Amino acid sequence: MKYALITGAGGGLGGAGAQALAEAGWMVFAADVRPGSSQNSRIVPLVVDVTSDTSVRAAVELIGQTTDRLDAVINFAGVHAMGSFVEGDIAAMMDKLIDVNLMGMVRVNRAFFAMLRAGGGRVINCSSECGYMKAQPFNGPYTVSKYAVEAYSDSLRRELLSQGIKVIKVQPGSFKTGLLVDSQASFEQLYDNTLIYKRVLTKMKPLMDREFREANDPDQVGKVLLRAVSAKHPKIRYRVKNSKLLGLMELIPDGLLDAIYRAFMR
């Protein structure tokens, strides 16, 4: 029996990953602040708050009653918010995004390291297409947190080479999850509350609506995750349904991209 811990597994991408692994015969500890339910007996829901050291330590003790090793620790716990760096309570927004998206996986990976080492397991960190693509206006707070996840994952991967523990990044695009709902809500809140960007956001809204409409099925991430945990020689990163529009922007030099934004925002 192989054992995995997945955070953010109460639904969304983490939930899809838990289902995929359980169907493949894994025993999955599905951690979330609001655990989901499953008919699969191989999925064990756990209440875990990744922003709390106490909660994470309690999860270690609870899982330790079943197994002393883990074959994978998979970090999908995350939040999303859109906002301005010069309007609103940006400090509070950044604190939350960093605490959940980055420090959550730092806490979890550190707490479960002994179990990972015992099982010769691997770490999978959920980054985002925003973690490596050019930063876009008003999505900056989330992008900063995911850039940090990229740097953390790369450094951790190289640190753990001597321990035989692989560290893998998953970089998903837009998917139909609660994170997408949060993204839509935060954009609407930004639009309603801005004092200086109303005209700009009005122009951006059709593009945002298009991205939201074209969001993908979470099951596709579950399939990729199964490959990442099973491959003898996994990739360093797995990109899943990244945005074609953002992909085109990657080809444009920064100065020219700034000029395009300047013209668009007039």
Q: Is the model's pLDDT at 35 over the cut of 90? A: no
Is residue 209 very low, low, confident or very high in pLDDT (cuts 50, 70, 90)? confident
Listed residue (224, 216, 219) closest to 241, CA to CA: 216
The structure tokens listed for 148 are: 């940090």
Q: Is the model's pLDDT at 181 over the cut of 90? A: no
- Give me the half-sphere count of Cα atoms (radius 13 Å) on the Cβ side of residue 20: 23
Q: Which helix (H) or strand (E) holds 43?
A: strand 43-47
Q: How many domains does the chain have?
A: 1
- Give me the half-sphere count of Cα atoms (radius 13 Å) on the Cβ side of residue 62: 15
CB count within 10 Å of CB 47 equals: 14
Is residue 66 very low, low, confident or very high in pLDDT (cuts 50, 70, 90)? very high
Q: Is the model's pLDDT at 22 over the cut of 90? A: yes
Is residue 225 very low, low, confident or very high in pLDDT (cuts 50, 70, 90)? very high
d(CA 185, CA 170): 25
Give the mean model confidence (pLDDT) for residues 136-160: 97
Please identify every residue annotated as catalytic. Answer: 142
Residue bearing the bigger pLDDT, 209 or 57: 57
Looking up residue 237, the CATH number of its domain turns out to be 3.40.50.720
Q: Is the model's pLDDT at 32 over the cut of 90? A: yes
What is residue 248's predicted lDDT score, i.e. its pLDDT?
Answer: 92
Reported pTM: 0.94
Host domain of residue 233? 3-265
What is residue 212's predicted lDDT score, i.e. its pLDDT?
Answer: 81
What is residue 27's predicted lDDT score, i.e. its pLDDT?
Answer: 98
% of the chain exceeding 70 in pLDDT:
100
* Strand arrangement of the beta sheet that strand 237-240 belongs to: 43-47, 27-32, 3-7, 72-75, 122-126, 166-172, 237-240
Q: Is the model's pLDDT at 33 over the cut of 90? A: yes
d(CA 239, CA 250): 15
What is residue 50's predicted lDDT score, i.e. its pLDDT?
Answer: 98
Q: In angstroms, what CA-CA distances link 231 with 224, 227, 247?
A: 11, 6, 27
Q: Is the model's pLDDT at 213 over the cut of 90? A: no
